[in-house]
């Protein structure tokens, strides 16, 4: 795929999403901005979405002789500049978003130039597969990564597929704090992660136990720690111990590193002071402090829950953390300056797989290879496509419905946070959930089954009413994964969109039949109602702009969107609850 074709695809996505979010309102197949008019071919999908056909966009503008000139349009930056007035964008917002679009396009070209056929992808490990995926299906500038240079992008991004080693720091105790789940001591975590390097690092310090040790991303050390924490480095409050012994690959989130030398060691979530997909990718201190506590609480619910055990749903806990608070900067300053140093260790996935099982990130079902062929077709293989999709939907929705309605808890179930485990027959069979501390919400209403929450003194679990809780399921899974999946399946004549939504509706209705005691909660979440609130992910960045803020603001609601589950006939699942 050339630069022009990647650019054309990004332009089509930009127009599609701005129209889907009702930020632009086309007149049929045209958008007029005064100086320029754009025409295109588009179809409509679930949730009222637009799908503009790449390569179909034309730009018409007045020529130098006063006549209109029309040409094929492939440039998303030119479109944004033309549409800036209609979108109400300031000059600084245009400039910032142009930088994100350009970075995304450069990454798209790199991915396309190194793309491999699906037949090769299906044999990759879960970790290696992440380096071939193309990013968030709804966010247009999904690889903006403001802060990374061009060489950084060639070194530290998932699509670089280049292993790196983390640098270990020792931070004076009192400035840093370790926390872990009850079975983990500070030393046990360090010995597991460092192996024999543990002794070599200890020999560098006069009093090694007066420090808290943690890994640091090499980019963060060079660009942030060495400057923002220069005094602490000079005085010995922070000591650079050296490189750790293992190689890591970045996941799709960039800041979560997966150990490839020792896959049974922890995943590591590290702060990066880059702006990507709407926010800076630091680690808030309240999240690192609370992660082990929240994990242990959820584990307790999980281990004694009959449904989760029967379904085999896996929870990758965030089991240990180090929090480093800046001694001067705290509240009232832009949040990216207070989230620069710390780490969270997460359970590995590979240790959860039984013999013959395989796993892949949910985002994989949206991937297309260099020939435009969908990876989901290769994952389905020789199975009946409708049966395979029915198993996928059942695997996804059953534990999430139970978590929300039995416990009043939601996670953020988008394509990065969920993984699918397939059995030896290749059919989806079990769900893996991760990224807990920053994405777990609980109902405002107290729920007896959930018991007392672990954050009664210092709340880190947001309380939300039922209709807001359900929106995480709607936006992250229904809109963010299943709707584009429906389009992928339809384009390959695998499964019709209405069939997918009918299968999902059947699962929801089956849950309601099997759990009449939750009728009031099901009525409150109303997953089958006619419309849902619209939370525009792209509009969030364009409305917010690039002003520094001391908190991460919520995404505003802009109108309603039609629910594709509302009008379809349900298909009752083959397996009862």
How much is the pLDDT for 63? 67
How much is the pLDDT for 567? 92
Cα-based angle 181, 183, 189 (whole degrees, multiple of 5): 80
Domains of the chain: 1-85 (3.30.310.280), 163-308+325-346 (no CATH), 352-562 (1.10.510.40)
| Cα 534 from Cα 117, distance rounded (Å) | 36
Whether 137 and 484 have beta carbons less than 8 Å apart is answered as yes
Phi–psi pair at 545, nearest 5 degrees: 75, -155
| Cα 337 from Cα 224, distance rounded (Å) | 9
| Cα 250 from Cα 272, distance rounded (Å) | 12
Q: Name the DSSP letter for residue 266.
A: P
pTM above 0.75, yes or no: yes
How much is the pLDDT for 131? 96
How much is the pLDDT for 436? 85
How much is the pLDDT for 550? 79
Element at 503 (helix H, strand E): helix 497-514
Q: Which two tokens stand for residue 60?
A: 């018409």
Q: Which two tokens stand for residue 372?
A: 């435009």
Whether 416 and 253 have beta carbons less than 8 Å apart is answered as yes
Chain centroid, CA 151 distance in Å = 24
Burial class (CB in 10 A: 0-12, 13-18, 19+), 61: middle
How much is the pLDDT for 456? 66
| Cα 240 from Cα 225, distance rounded (Å) | 10
Residue whose C-alpha is closest to residue 474's, from 391, 392, 563: 563
Which pairs count as long-range contacts for 498-503, CB under 8 Å and 24+ apart, including other chains? 498/568, 499/386, 499/389, 499/571, 500/389, 500/393, 501/46, 501/564, 501/565, 501/568, 502/568, 502/569, 502/570, 502/571, 503/386, 503/389, 503/390, 503/393, 503/571, 503/573
How much is the pLDDT for 548? 87
| Cα 225 from Cα 219, distance rounded (Å) | 9
How much is the pLDDT for 64? 61
How much is the pLDDT for 233? 98
How much is the pLDDT for 459? 76
Residue whose C-alpha is closest to residue 292's, from 167, 448, 186: 186
Is residue 272 classed as helix, strand or coil in its secondary structure? strand
Q: What is the pLDDT of residues 65-110, one digit of tens each?
A: 666 789 999 999 999 999 999 999 999 999 999 999 999 999 999 9
Q: Please provide the distance, in angstroms rounded to a whole number, between the alpha carbons at the two ends of the chain.
A: 46
Phi–psi pair at 198, nearest 5 degrees: -55, -50
- How big, in percent rounded to 5, are the helix, strand and coil portions of the chain? 40, 20, 40
Q: What is the pLDDT of residues 290-325, one digit of tens each?
A: 999 999 999 999 999 999 999 999 999 999 999 999
Give the CB-side neighbour count of residue 115, counting CA atoms within 13 A.
Answer: 22
Is residue 209 classed as helix, strand or coil in its secondary structure? helix
| Cα 425 from Cα 109, distance rounded (Å) | 35
Helical ranges in 142-184 per DSSP H: 150-156
Q: Which two tokens stand for residue 61?
A: 């503008």
Whether 302 and 308 have beta carbons less than 8 Å apart is answered as yes
Ordered mean pLDDT values, 10 residues apiece, the chain (577 residues): 89 98 95 94 96 97 74 97 97 97 97 94 95 95 97 97 98 97 97 97 97 98 97 98 98 96 98 93 94 96 96 97 92 91 98 97 96 95 97 98 98 96 97 90 94 80 94 97 97 96 98 97 98 94 87 81 97 90
Is residue 214 classed as helix, strand or coil in its secondary structure? strand
């Amino acid at each position: 795929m050339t630069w022009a074709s990647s650019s054309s695809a990004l332009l089509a996505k930009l127009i599609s999403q701005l129209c889907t979010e009702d930020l632009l309102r086309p007149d049929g197949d045209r958008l007029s901005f005064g100086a320029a008019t754009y025409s295109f071919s588009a179809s409509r999908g679930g949730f009222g979405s637009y799908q503009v056909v790449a390569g179909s966009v034309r730009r018409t503008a007045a020529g130098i002789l006063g006549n209109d000139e029309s040409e094929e349009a492939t440039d998303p930056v030119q479109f944004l500049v033309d549409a800036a007035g209609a979108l109400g964008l300031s000059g600084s917002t245009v400039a910032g978003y142009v930088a994100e679009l350009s970075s995304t396009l450069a990454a798209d070209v790199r991915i396309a130039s190194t793309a491999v056929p699906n037949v090769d992808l299906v044999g990759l490990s879960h970790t290696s597969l992440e380096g071939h995926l193309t990013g968030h299906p709804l966010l247009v500038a999904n690889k903006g990564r403001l802060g990374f240079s061009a060489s950084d992008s060639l070194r530290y991004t998932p699509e670089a597929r280049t292993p790196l080693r983390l640098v270990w720091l020792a931070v004076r105790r009192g400035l840093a704090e370790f926390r872990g789940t009850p079975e983990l001591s500070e030393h046990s975590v360090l010995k597991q992660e460092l192996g024999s390097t543990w002794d070599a690092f200890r020999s560098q310090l006069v009093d090694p136990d007066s420090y808290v040790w943690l890994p640091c991303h090499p980019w963060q050390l060079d660009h942030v720690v060495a400057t923002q924490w220069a005094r602490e480095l000079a005085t010995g409050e922070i000591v650079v111990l050296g490189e750790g012994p293992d190689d890591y690959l970045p996941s799709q989130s960039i800041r979560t590193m997966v150990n490839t030398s020792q896959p049974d060691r922890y995943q590591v979530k590290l702060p990066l002071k880059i702006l990507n997909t709407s926010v800076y990718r630091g680690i808030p201190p309240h999240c690192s402090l609370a992660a082990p506590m929240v994990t242990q609480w959820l584990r307790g619910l999980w281990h004694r829950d009959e449904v989760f055990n029967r379904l085999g749903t896996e929870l990758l806990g965030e089991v240990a953390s180090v929090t480093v608070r800046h001694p001067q900067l705290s509240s009232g300053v832009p949040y990216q300056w207070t989230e620069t140093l710390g780490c969270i260790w997460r359970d590995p996935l590979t240790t959860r797989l039984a013999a013959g099982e395989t796993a892949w990130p949910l985002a994989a079902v949206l991937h297309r290879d260099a020939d435009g062929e969908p990876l989901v077709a290769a994952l389905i293989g020789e199975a009946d496509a409708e049966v395979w999709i029915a198993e996928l939907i059942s695997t996804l929705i059953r534990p999430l419905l139970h978590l929300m309605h039995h416990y009043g808890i939601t996670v953020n179930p988008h394509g990065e946070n969920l993984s699918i485990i397939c059995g030896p027959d290749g059919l989806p069979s079990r769900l893996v959930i991760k990224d807990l501390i920053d994405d777990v919400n609980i109902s405002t209403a107290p729920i007896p089954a959930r018991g007392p929450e672990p954050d009664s003194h210092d709340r880190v679990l947001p309380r939300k009413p039922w209709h807001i809780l359900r929106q995480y399921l709607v936006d992250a899974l229904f809109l963010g994964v299943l709707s584009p999946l429906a389009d992928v399946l339809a384009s390959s004549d695998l499964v019709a969109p209405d069939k997918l939504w009918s299968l999902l509706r059947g699962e929801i209705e089956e849950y309601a039949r099997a759990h009449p005691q939750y009728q009031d909660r099901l009525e409150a979440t109303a997953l089958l109602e006619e419309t849902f609130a619209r939370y525009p992910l792209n509009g969030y960045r364009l409305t917010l702009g690039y002003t520094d803020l001391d908190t991460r603001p919520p995404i505003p609601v802009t109108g309603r969107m039609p629910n594709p589950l509302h009008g379809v006939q349900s298909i009752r699942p083959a397996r009862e609850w």
